[in-house]
Amino acid sequence: MFRSEYADVPPVDLPIHEAVLGRAAEHGDTPALVDGVDGTTLTYAQLDHFHRRLAAAFADAGVRKGDVLALHSPNTIAFPPAFYAATRAGASVTTVHPLATADELAKQLTDAGARWIVTVSPLLDTARTAAERAGGIREIFVCDSAPGHRSLLDMLATTAPEPHVGIDPAEDIAVLPYSSGTTGVPKGVMLTHRSIATNLAQLDPMVAGGPGDRILAVLPFFHIYGLTALMNGPLRRGATVVVLPRFDLGTFLAAIEKHRITGLYVAPPIVLALAKHPAVAQYDLSSLEYILSAAAPLDAALAAACAERLGLPPIGQGYGMTELSPCTHVVPLDAARTAPPGTVGKLVAGTEMRIVSLADPAEDVPVGEPGEVLIRGPQVMKGYLGRSDATADMIDDGGGWLHTGDVGHVDGGGTSRSSEAESGGGWLFIVDRVKELIKYKGFQVAPAELEALLLTHPGIADAAVIGTYDDDGNEVPHAHVVRQPTAGNLSEGEVMMYVAERVAPYKRVRRVTFVDAVPRAASGKILRRELRERQS
């Protein structure tokens, strides 16, 4: 067992709106949220006032403790006040992918038991259709304006009293995000006020910041990574969050230059663009002080190439999952230059970890050997909504260990034996997902390893690897490759030979399919399930 080297933090028994905005008055006129496209700005004083007025308006409309409100929107400066207003009114917020189809949204509304929707006018048709199919929706609000729907802008003028709702941070659900569905049916993840607020405090010793920091929020707020790293975390520390509705490379680079962004929290595809795209050279990115990548594995060579090109310290990584509120590991910002390449970091405060055998989960593996990563700590979810069996499969009864489904190993550096645990636990390296390991004639092949190798080919812009079956019934590595625009003649044989020259025989890519784009979740994770479905 490994235990964090950082001092334990006491549970944060506050509603999430208090944990984040409890000190907003101290920051007063400091910009809290800036629209990265049109420059519209909300100060901390305005954010505090607006979310309280919206909470009053929600309560006046009938929102009550125990209700679920669906927040169906891209990133806008209205997203945070809507979120905190809903929780202050006593509701749980289920965050929704803005590109969800009406059927997908209806399923989430039904599963979550949502009664209210907040959306934006461009998504209103989808929200209406989904509401009709789901049933039980009392009202659809819009952040901007649309005929027949109340606007949050107009609701700010309410004279209704601010609600004072009794919230039990340890038991009441603050947010109900849905797992990405990369390995199965999406499930509602019950995250309490305490679990997500405490996770913010767990990160303080490793990613501290405050007024003067300018963070660019391009990853979606609806995803737990964006919700924590780009919304709750920076706003809790008094930083300025510059908001973009989606990732467009030119807009993204222009925002860094114009708003003098100091820190980026991104996913590997953005690191890839920063490392390789020629447009990067056209912008002044000198304000950047650090980049941290998470949500999917980041190849060490790609990270180094990006940092070198931008003249930055080595790019650190973080690790976690929705079910863990979400963070368990991160490379401390002050240790980026000394962290070993490829690590996802060290345990955050108050967190324990085991690495168990893939063959026998009851057995812990020695330091340095790969196994499944198990986590225990205050950030572990309450469970999956309405799915006690799935919860039991994920979290050990009694021990409280959450099975991440990720394969990793810990190096021996920085650890010291104690009677109960290895203090600090060294650096964690993630190898792959348990369910995504390809078993070729009994050998385990990690898709992430092959993907990282494929990205070193000058003619390959992006790649994903899954297991498919050959005529003999063997599971083989199958690469889905996006050609660089200048590499239109790149052939299947060339790709396979490039890999074959660089890996053991059992790891060779046996099939290649050229695609226009690799399907990814908004968080950056490869949607391998979609690739498998294309083959069926």
User: What is the tens place of the pLDDT at every residue in 84-133?
Assistant: 999 999 999 999 989 888 988 999 999 999 999 999 999 999 999 999 99
What is the rounded average pLDDT of the residues 192-218? 96
Question: pLDDT class for 184, splitting at 50, 70, 90?
Answer: low
pLDDT score of 415: 37
Q: In the predicted model, is pLDDT for residue 182 greater than 50?
A: no
Q: In the predicted model, is pLDDT for residue 353 greater than 80?
A: yes
What does pLDDT average to over the chain?
93
pLDDT score of 74: 97
pLDDT score of 356: 96
Question: pLDDT class for 264, splitting at 50, 70, 90?
Answer: very high
The dotted CATH code for 334-433 is 2.30.38.10
Cα–Cα nearest to 235, from 376, 84, 366: 84
What is the rounded average pLDDT of the residues 370-377? 96
Question: pLDDT class for 183, splitting at 50, 70, 90?
Answer: low
pLDDT score of 417: 34
Which residues on neighbouring strands pair with residue 462, listed in sequence order? 482
Per-residue model confidence as pLDDT tens digits over 453-483: 999 999 999 999 999 988 878 889 999 999 9
Domain boundaries, the chain: 2-310, 334-433, 438-535
Measure the CA–CA gap between 223 and 191, rounded to whole angstroms.
13
What is the rounded average pLDDT of the residues 265-282? 94
Cα–Cα nearest to 436, from 393, 469, 467, 414: 467
Written as six digits, the tokens of 444 are 């385990």
**Burial status of residue 338 (CB atoms within 10 A of its CB: 0-12, 13-18, 19 or more):** exposed
pLDDT score of 337: 94
> Comparing 436 with 277, which gets the higher pLDDT?
277
What is the rounded average pLDDT of the residues 273-289? 96
Q: In the predicted model, is pLDDT for residue 533 greater than 90?
A: no
Measure the CA–CA gap between 99 and 74, rounded to whole angstroms.
9
What is the rounded average pLDDT of the residues 158-187? 88
Q: In the predicted model, is pLDDT for residue 205 greater than 50?
A: yes
Cβ of 359: how many Cβ atoms within 10 Å?
A: 8
Question: pLDDT class for 441, splitting at 50, 70, 90?
Answer: confident
Per-residue model confidence as pLDDT tens digits over 7-23: 999 999 999 999 999 99
What is the rounded average pLDDT of the residues 195-220? 96
Least confident of 336-345, 430-439, 443-452: 430-439
Written as six digits, the tokens of 357 are 């055998």
Question: pLDDT class for 79, splitting at 50, 70, 90?
Answer: very high
Where helices occur in 314-472 by DSSP H, the ranges are: 388-394, 447-454
Q: In the predicted model, is pLDDT for residue 181 greater than 50?
A: no
Question: pLDDT class for 444, splitting at 50, 70, 90?
Answer: confident
What is the rounded average pLDDT of the residues 383-408? 93
Beta sheet of 327-330, edge-to-edge order = 41-43, 31-35, 240-243, 214-217, 263-266, 290-293, 316-320, 327-330, 346-347
The helix/strand/coil state of 298 is coil
Cα–Cα nearest to 66, from 158, 168, 199: 168
Which of the four CATH numbers 3.20.20.140, 3.30.300.30, 3.40.109.10, 3.40.30.10 does domain 438-535 have? 3.30.300.30
Q: Which fold has domain 2-310?
A: Rossmann fold (3.40.50)
The residue written with tokens 């899954």 in the block is 466
What is the rounded average pLDDT of the residues 184-209? 93
pLDDT score of 404: 93
Q: In the predicted model, is pLDDT for residue 419 greater than 60?
A: no
Cα–Cα nearest to 465, from 484, 443, 438, 434: 438
pLDDT score of 418: 38
pLDDT score of 433: 77
Measure the CA–CA gap between 454 and 514, rounded to whole angstroms.
13
Q: In the predicted model, is pLDDT for residue 422 greater than 70?
A: no
Question: pLDDT class for 425, splitting at 50, 70, 90?
Answer: low
Per-residue model confidence as pLDDT tens digits over 19-45: 999 999 999 999 999 999 999 999 999
Q: In the predicted model, is pLDDT for residue 416 greater than 60?
A: no
pLDDT score of 189: 97
Question: pLDDT class for 138, splitting at 50, 70, 90?
Answer: very high
Measure the CA–CA gap between 405 and 107, rounded to whole angstroms.
25
Using the 8-state DSSP alphabet, how is residue 7 labeled? P
Is 142 in contact with 122 (CB distance < 8 Å)?
Answer: no
